[in-house]
Amino acid sequence: MADRTESSIVIDAPPGDVLDVIADFEAYPEWASEMKHVQILAEEGDGWADQVEFTLDAGIIKDTYVLDYDWDVVEDGTGVVSWSLVSASVLKSMIGSYTLSAQGASTKVTYRLAVDVKIPMIGMFKRKAERVIIDTALKGLKKRVEG
């Protein structure tokens, strides 16, 4: 699974505000249209979600899956939030991350995602699905934070 899709967006808010929206998993269905249901299954002692269950409908990829999160962020919200797949029905693997970096009073968010499915699928269709997920998430994140 060497192939991955990546895109960035600049959000007119400090990294801490962006991180707060990323960490508010249960609100994802309000701004990430492909997310139909989200539930936190476990939290670390520091209050960050450790495992989260998602129900996804991204057109070609539909699944309910659990992700394990790693929060490598500092107090101002800059850093990397990364995840990997724990369990799923259709997905074989999912590795992704948000990298948040301050740009003056704004935040550059880079979203990286690599998805593999258990059913045979041409690579370009997987990349297209990744692109739809990333573009929708970044635009929704921007709107949610700035709105």
Residue 1 confidence (pLDDT): 42
Residues in Cβ contact with 65 at an 8 Å cutoff, skipping those fewer than 6 apart: 53, 54, 56, 85, 86, 87, 88, 89, 91, 94
Quick check: 31 pLDDT over 70? yes
Read off the pTM. Answer: 0.88
Instruction: Domain ranges for the chain, please list them.
Output: 5-146
* pLDDT tens string 73-82: 999 999 999 9
- Output 58 or 137, whichever has higher pLDDT: 137
Superfamily of domain 5-146: START domain (3.30.530.20)
Structure confidence at residue 2 as a pLDDT band (50, 70, 90): very low
Q: What is the mean pLDDT of the chain?
A: 89
Least confident of 41-50, 67-76, 118-127: 118-127
Stated length of the chain = 147
